[in-house]
Amino acid sequence: MGRTGRTYGRILIAVAAMMAVCRPVHAQDISQIAKSDPLVMTGAIGTNNTYFYSSMGGFGANPLSNSVYANLNISLYGLSMPFSFFYANNNTSFSYPHYSFNISPSYKNWTLHIGQRSMPFTSYVFNMSFNGVGLEYKSRKLRAGAFYGTLKKAINDDPADPTSRRPQFRRVAYGAKVGYGSGTRYLDLYFLNAFDIESSIDPLWNDPDILKQRRMQPLAAQENIVVGAKGHFAIGKNVSVSGNLATSVFSNDVSAELVHIDRIDWFGKVFDTRYSTLARMAGDVGLNLSLSKFNAALTYKMIQPDYKSLGISYISNNMQSLGVNMGTTLAGKIALSGGFAGQSDNLSGNQLYTTKGFVYNAAASMRMKRGIALTASYNGFRQTQADGTAVLNDSIKVDRIMNSFSIVPSYGFETDGLSHSISLSANLTSNKDLNRFADGTTDVTTYAAGLNYNLGINAIESDVSFSYSHQGSEGYETHYTSDIFSVGSGHSFLKDKTLNVSASVVFCHNLMEGQSRNFSIGADCQVGYTLKEVHVFSFSTSFNQYHVRDYTAQWASGYFDYSMSLNYSYTFTLLRLEKKSKEDSAAKTK
């Protein structure tokens, strides 16, 4: 069947599903245009000035940086047209509105998409943006939508030009979806047809001499139809079942010879079955239990080998996974959760090896009286390999395990006009190779501990914060540690709090045992003042001192830098023509 006939069949399917549904997207509501002001002109002007000095030199850079900018936005019945001007160190730029006509106006339950828009379906069917037209409808329970547009633009440079880009077919698609229900009971159906336009690139790109010169494989146009369904159904009050399934029929090369079999010839009205055509499935299902103080979910996911949708940027295939998650609350104060999932690939059995992964986690949080809280968690991962089409050599077998533990206690309290907040944190992570031939060169253990204290002074509405962290890692013949201490404070002055001042000091010490040591100290201060809500002045300055010692190269050095910055901005409304209310019109008539 020819392209014209098949396209006609596709359009019939798309029209029949034009009442399909989708979830709401951000759009411009046409009913709001009449409520917008006819003309509003706003803008801003400002300047940024920075001075930077380093004892190591500026490497040819200008230590003084100055810039001036101006922005003007014209809003006509809600349509925004921005203009901008920017000048910095003898470089000037000016930008004006560039219109690509990408809009999604809505009226009541309807939304129209024009231009570069998106109407995501499901993760197995379609999740890309398109450049074209789409229509959506959404009521309380009924949802519907359809679209037609370009997914990828053609790249068709001159094949004789050695600097030309790799060619790409123009990819076109149309899709539709329809659904009914809400909450715990709904069903949505999806349809997508995507195909490459063979004539969108120069035939010379498949010339044997060009392919050999560019070291390219022959280019083949592709075609794809995907049908999917997603639903959620409640079984009684506490049990529900969810599912997200899709079937994809995919041709890697539309120039391949057609297959003529009676049982599939009827499919040619919409899609030509060729010797390059594959049919694959993907999906996930879940069984959910929800009680007053306990919930659990059992999920299974499977994506067959070579599953592909031209409406998805990327998806892993040839895998399956099974997982369970549980959670409960004890005495209204303690929350417990845990989960386990296993995943494996090589569903087809054609890979050299089969890889399996296991993920497990547990968490607990407790909140007690008097501001005491505690959170603890554990995460683990195990990866192993087994035989596939080849017998796995024990010396190269992947067998790794990762364990991570963390705990975060905190305490908050108030005393005579002061508020205190203290939190501790600790984390330990180990990554170990369990292969019996492993020599430990890839094993790594990391640890971290931290202390944070914040003091709020209620009388003057100021705060002071202190923090200390120690981090380290140990690997094969390596040991690294880092210690960071900081203190900072901020305060707002004047009656209306328009003057803000903040400052901080940071100490940092890093040690690579037997190799290098470095120490740094930095201080900064910021001052900001707002005048009549439209004038904003700000000043900041910082100073940093560094010292580095390399034990292996037997050298040491120290240097410093400092910077100052002075900025100003002014925002304004140049013109505002407000929409007249019905009361104003009635008063004028009288």
pLDDT digits (tens, 9 = 90+) for 261-283: 776 666 666 788 888 999 999 99
For residues 44 and 142, state if they share a domain.
no
128, pLDDT greater than 50: yes
427, pLDDT greater than 80: yes
For residues 407 and 294, what is the distance between their CA atoms, to the nearest angstrom? 24
As a whole-number percent, the residues of the chain with pLDDT over 90 amount to 67
Q: Are 520 and 544 within 8 A, CB to CB?
A: yes
pLDDT the model gives residue 99: 55
CA–CA distances in Å: residue 50 to residues 53, 399, 540: 10, 54, 9
The residue out of 307, 334, 361 marking a domain boundary is 307
Return the closest-CA partner of residue 446 out of 424, 484, 486, 479.
Answer: 479
User: Three-class SS of residue 207?
Assistant: coil
Report the domain count for the chain: 3
- Looking at every residue in the chain, the average pLDDT score rounds to 88
For residues 53 and 78, state if they share a domain.
yes
For residues 49 and 152, state if they share a domain.
no
- Where b means 16+ CB within 10 Å and e means fewer, 47-73 reads ebeeebebeeeeeeeeeeeeeebebbb
- Specify if 19 maps to a domain: no
As a whole-number percent, the residues of the chain with pLDDT over 70 amount to 89
User: Which residue segment(s) compose the domain that 379 sits in?
Assistant: 318-434+448-458
For residues 348 and 430, state if they share a domain.
yes
Minimum mean pLDDT range among 64-68, 79-83, 198-202, 429-433? 79-83
Please, which residues have CB within 8 angstroms of residue 360's CB and are 6 or more apart in sequence?
Answer: 338, 339, 340, 341, 379, 380, 381
For residues 247 and 347, state if they share a domain.
no
- Specify if 290 maps to a domain: yes
What is the sign of the dihedral through the CA atoms of 324, 329, 334 and 335?
Answer: positive
pLDDT the model gives residue 533: 93
11, pLDDT greater than 60: no
- Specify if 49 maps to a domain: yes
For residues 271 and 333, state if they share a domain.
no
561, pLDDT greater than 70: yes
Backbone angles phi, psi at 263, to 5 degrees: -75, -10
Return the closest-CA partner of residue 403 out of 345, 362, 439.
Answer: 362
pLDDT the model gives residue 4: 41
For residues 344 and 314, what is the distance between their CA atoms, to the nearest angstrom? 19
- Specify if 262 maps to a domain: yes
Minimum mean pLDDT range among 206-220, 327-341, 404-418? 206-220
For residues 300 and 353, state if they share a domain.
no
How confident is residue 59, by pLDDT bands cut at 50, 70 and 90? low
pLDDT the model gives residue 578: 82
Minimum mean pLDDT range among 159-163, 195-199, 425-429, 497-501? 159-163
For residues 125 and 209, state if they share a domain.
yes
pLDDT the model gives residue 470: 98
Average pLDDT over residues 293-305: 96
pLDDT the model gives residue 96: 63
- Specify if 505 maps to a domain: no
412, pLDDT greater than 90: yes
- Specify if 417 maps to a domain: yes
pLDDT the model gives residue 130: 96
pLDDT the model gives residue 100: 62
Q: Which residue has the tokens 């006609």?
A: 8
pLDDT the model gives residue 332: 79
- Specify if 513 maps to a domain: no
For residues 267 and 345, state if they share a domain.
no
- Specify if 363 maps to a domain: yes
Q: Are 120 and 24 within 8 A, CB to CB?
A: no
For residues 147 and 176, state if they share a domain.
yes
Average pLDDT over residues 137-142: 94
For residues 279 and 154, state if they share a domain.
yes
Strand blocks (E) in 331-461: 334-345, 353-367, 372-387, 399-415, 418-433, 444-457
58, pLDDT greater than 80: no
For residues 236 and 167, state if they share a domain.
yes
The residue out of 288, 307, 326 marking a domain boundary is 307
The residue out of 424, 458, 492 marking a domain boundary is 458
- Where b means 16+ CB within 10 Å and e means fewer, 452-476 reads bebebeeeeebbebebebbbbebee
Average pLDDT over residues 212-230: 93
pLDDT the model gives residue 24: 33
337, pLDDT greater than 90: yes
579, pLDDT greater than 80: no
For residues 178 and 187, what is the distance between their CA atoms, to the nearest angstrom? 8
318, pLDDT greater than 80: yes
- Residue-wise pLDDT tens digits, 156-167: 999 888 888 999
Average pLDDT over residues 221-226: 96
pLDDT the model gives residue 77: 77
